[in-house]
Amino acid sequence: MPAMAEPPFSNPLFSSKISHNLKSVHCSPQAPNFIPIRYNNRVTTTTCFCSAENVDPAPVLLPHSIVFSRNPNLSSDISNRTTKDRREVVRLAWEKLVRWSRSWRSKAKTDDVLERTNKVVVLGGGSFGTAMAAHIGNRKSHLEVNMLVRDPQICRSINEKHCNIKYFPEHKLPENVVATTDAKAALLNADFCLHAVPVQFSSSFLEGIADCVDPGLPFISLSKGLELHTLRMMSQIIPRALRNPRQPYIVLSGPSFALELMNNLPTAMVVASKDKKLAKAAQQLLASTNLRISTSSDVTGVEIAGALKNVLAIAAGIVEGMNLGNNSMAALVAQGCSEIRWLATKVAEGVSTAGAVIALAQTYNVKMPVLTAVARIIDNELTPQKAVRELMSLPQGNTMNDCGYPIQGESW
């Protein structure tokens, strides 16, 4: 008899003997047999309702993508077991994460800055300053939170009605949040100072209260942007205005809206300081179940990103208003983030307007097509439609890190 041709399913992962012997398997009403099968490097026992007198009992190695069985339920059984195994792995990973998180929080409480803080002063009575004052006030009922404001009407509304009548008339502030127009009283014995005065007014404001500021008082800057006529960041403005180059400084930034903070919605931000211990202290002071705080030592990067994200937000509004679609929005965000990164890597001493940003970018020969277009639109020198056409007509890039636009330093 001529030799039998190798069957079509003779995969190297199967023994030739098993492949041939499987031809002799026939259905039988007898009691089920249990055949060991190796799957995912684990031997499991499967049920077969067929006669298997001639089947080699050695374990069969089944690849992930191949399931061979005369029993239609076998594939389903293996698939169900795989799903259960995967869910078990995910469950165990999640439980491990939760245990680690609880252990970390338990250890952190042994040296909690919040427990040692008695007074926090917030400079400014705007929306974000008010939201942060309310947030800190809710963190600890016995913590004194003083808001230094210039508007007597806002001051009275906070002290008498427990609300900021101008920005949050329907939101009640914690009882431990009070307001004053007296800088000396507000700053006396403060453990932390949150600076929430707009960038363009910060220099003159701080120069006026410099004599009341303790040289060791940590300043947490909430102000985003650049000083228009000097292109200075808050990390330069604050020590210069206070006449103290060693004034402890932290910057707080991130995608956040004051109203959502007031409504206790989940928010994530970052604090940055050249002093890692200071950044950690600010994190412990501010972090809560509703506000996640990361730490960084890149003060310049965080400040530049905080300033430029607002310019990018204007561009996003233009894309939305022109109904350019999700593809355009995704491209805008990718390109905008790249431009922010390019400028951040060039600046060592100085970047709240789009025009100020572009001026600084020109100083360091950084090409910023999207943000430059936004500045032109703001100045009414370019229509959004024409800006889109020009941006789409820029030379095609040949590297991944420039999102399709000229590499920084190249001529257009």
At a CB cut-off of 8 Å and minimum separation 6, what does 351 contact? Answer: 226, 231, 233, 303, 304, 307, 308, 343, 357, 360
Model pLDDT, residue 344? 75
Say which of 140, 280, 309, 346 is annotated catalytic: 309
119 is catalytic: no
Model pLDDT, residue 147? 98
Closest CA to 206 of 250, 240, 235, 229: 240
Over the stretch 150-188, which tens digit does the pLDDT of each residue have? 999 999 999 999 999 999 999 999 999 999 999 999 999
- Find the distance separating the first CA and the last CA of the chain, reported in whole Å: 79
Rounded CA-CA distance 38/137 in Å is: 61
User: Alpha helices, DSSP H only, in 210-253?
Assistant: 234-241
Residues in the chain with pLDDT values less than 50: 1-68, 348-352, 398-412
Break the chain into its structural domains and give their ranges: 113-297, 303-393
- pLDDT, the chain, mean: 79
Topology given in CATH for the domain delimited by 113-297: Rossmann fold (3.40.50)
pTM for this entry = 0.68
Share of the chain above pLDDT 70, in %: 74
3-state DSSP assignment of residue 219: strand
Residue 168's identity, in one-letter code, is F
Model pLDDT, residue 109? 63
At a CB cut-off of 8 Å and minimum separation 6, what does 169 contact? Answer: 157, 163
Residue 255 gets which letter from DSSP? S
Positive or negative CA dihedral for 76, 80, 82, 86? positive
Model pLDDT, residue 108? 65
Residue 105 gets which letter from DSSP? H
Model pLDDT, residue 338? 86
Residue 366 gets which letter from DSSP? -
Model pLDDT, residue 390? 82
**CA-to-CA dists, residue 232 to 61, 318, 344, 352, 369, angstroms:** 67, 28, 14, 10, 22
